[in-house]
Structure 1
Amino acid sequence: MKTGWELAQINVGRMVAPATDPQVAGFFAELDRINALADASPGFVWRLVGDGNDATDLQPTPDPLVLVNMSVWEDAEALFAFVYRTAHTPVMAQRRQWFAPMEGAYQALWWIEAGTLPTVEDGLARLWLIDRFGPSARAFTFKSRFPAPGLPGLPIDMQPDPWCVGRA
């Protein structure tokens, strides 16, 4: 259902080693395949890219090991299907091999007007909102998802994020 809104998402991670280290080679070996899968997924609108076909060369923070991923989807169901019901899922399950646990929020979702694109700064601000105030209509997670502006409904608890299961 077209609403005039699209779902933006950001996720960040701190690599356990520099990009040239064999310890993270598996992540970089999967990147083009997973990005192509996202690009071809139903409901995909846009993803952040730097000088290459991904965003790994961008430096969103002073820490050179922090990577940022951002994308826009037609709705939460399309993003959820890509993240949890495609070949992306087993690759994401290996995250602990390549990324250190984050102390704060590492993923945020928020609604944007259809046809607009989010900035990295806006995405980082959404992570801060979740850290500071918890999920809200301005920045939320899959677990506490909010409907698009103007649509009725309360937050939707879809399912726990597998990366958080068992973590304090």
Structure 2
Amino acid sequence: MTEAIPVHELAQVNIARLKAPLDSPQLKDFIDNLDPVNADAEAADGFVWRLQSEEGNATDVPVFDDAWLILNMTVWRNTDTLTAYMYQGRHREMLARRREWFEQVKEAMTTLWWVPKGHRPTVAEAEARLLHLRAHGPTPYAFTLRTSFPQGGADPVPGDVPDGLGCSV
């Protein structure tokens, strides 16, 4: 029996609130490791795509109209390949240090969703998915690694998103 060819890929967005300006001494290690971590991701099994500006990363891409927020948005083959990358090597080391550079916020800052193979999500799409997760919890429309949904699951039209779901510390 042949394995079915996947028709979906996994989009993920991770947003973080900076503790200091990107060019500050406090964020130097983060900035110095950004290119190597991105190169590791691009070389990882299952990596498909990442959002980048002309700078080669996404630190200058606006999100939620808040200059203190930065985002990382990627597409992966599936949750297994994303998880394998996240918790190994240089990325794991940087993840362990995230509280040095980023505020701890109350709201969800990461979400996942399935996209048709070849689709590249926009920042507006990521914002909508993250707000949906905050308002409704994990659903097939927007979910987490801890509570994920299978590829090709229902993709409901999101309901109204209540006010006050921004990024408060």
TM-score w.r.t. the length of structure 2 is: 0.86
Contact 1:82–1:88 (Cα < 8 Å) also in 2 = yes
Q: CA RMSD in A?
A: 1.4
2-side partners of 1:113 and 1:6: how far apart? 6
Trace 1:7-156 onto structure 2 (pairs within 5 A): 7-149=10-152
**Do the aligned residues in 2 keep the contact of 1:10 with 1:109 (CA within 8 Å)?**
yes
5+ residue gaps in structure 2?
A: 155-169
Deviates more, 1:111-120 or 1:56-65: 56-65
SS in 1 for 2:89: coil
- Give the partner amino acid of 1:29: D
- Cα distance in 2 for partners of 1:63, 1:25 equals 21
SS in 2 for 1:100: coil
Identical aligned pairs, as a percentage?
39
SS at match of 1:126: helix
CA contact (8 A) 1:51 1:57 kept: no
Report runs of 4+ in structure 1 exceeding 6 Å deviation: none
- The one-letter code matched in structure 1 to 2:93 is P
Deviation at 1:51, TM superposition (A): 1.5
